């Protein structure tokens, strides 16, 4: 695992979570159980703190950071897509952050909200639960329906299972 102490700030990774060797988890970061932290991801708790809820996937090359003396709370079974930049206060349970999305300072994402790929969510934006946001800047384009929840529950379970499989099957061979 790519875990790094920063002064007296030490990351904590709970059981059955996978953190790639090429990920960098720095400082005051707590990763709960059954999480997947992908290759190249960076979680920087150097002067702020990050809490990642159970069953969350932080996919490849995503970055999570927060301003000084603040906490970024990532809920349970959140999906943070490849290459997303997360600099926000809170992402509530079951939310989906699309690939390449940017979440700026003091953003709050509601439960089951979906932020589309490449979306830019400006500072201070609060997205209600079960809303779909797209665009630059982000705008509400719809409501999350049960079929989308079912699809994303399936995807979230795939990453929980993948975290367990990586722990048992991933081996460098050269």
Query: Can you name the CATH fold of 3-169?
Result: UDP N-Acetylglucosamine Acyltransferase; domain 1 (2.160.10)
State residue 1's pLDDT score: 66
- Whether 167 and 16 have beta carbons less than 8 Å apart is answered as yes
State residue 173's pLDDT score: 79
pLDDT tens by residue, 16-68:
999 999 999 999 999 999 999 999 999 999 999 999 999 999 999 999 999 99
- Whether 125 and 144 have beta carbons less than 8 Å apart is answered as no
pLDDT tens by residue, 79-95:
999 999 999 999 999 99
Question: What one-character-per-residue DSSP string does 13-58 give?
Answer: E-TT-EE-TTSEEEEEEEE-TT-EE-TT-EEEEEEEEEEE-TT-EE
């Amino acid at each position: 695992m790519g875990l790094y102490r920063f002064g007296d700030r030490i990351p904590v990774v709970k059981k059955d979570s996978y953190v790639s060797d090429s990920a960098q988890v720095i400082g005051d970061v707590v990763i709960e159980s059954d999480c997947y932290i992908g290759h190249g991801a960076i979680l920087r708790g150097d002067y702020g703190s990050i809490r990642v809820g159970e069953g969350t996937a932080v996919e490849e090359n995503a970055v999570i950071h927060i301003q000084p003396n603040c906490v970024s709370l990532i809920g349970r079974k959140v999906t943070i897509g490849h290459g997303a930049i997360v600099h926000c206060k809170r992402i509530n349970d079951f939310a989906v952050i699309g690939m390449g999305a940017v979440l700026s300072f003091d953003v709050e994402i509601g439960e089951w909200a979906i932020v589309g790929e490449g979306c830019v969510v400006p500072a201070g934006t609060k997205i209600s639960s079960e809303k779909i946001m797209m665009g630059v800047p982000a705008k509400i384009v719809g409501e999350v329906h049960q079929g989308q929840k079912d699809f994303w529950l399936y995807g979230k379970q795939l990453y929980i299972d993948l975290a367990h499989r990586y722990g048992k099957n991933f081996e460098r061979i050269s």
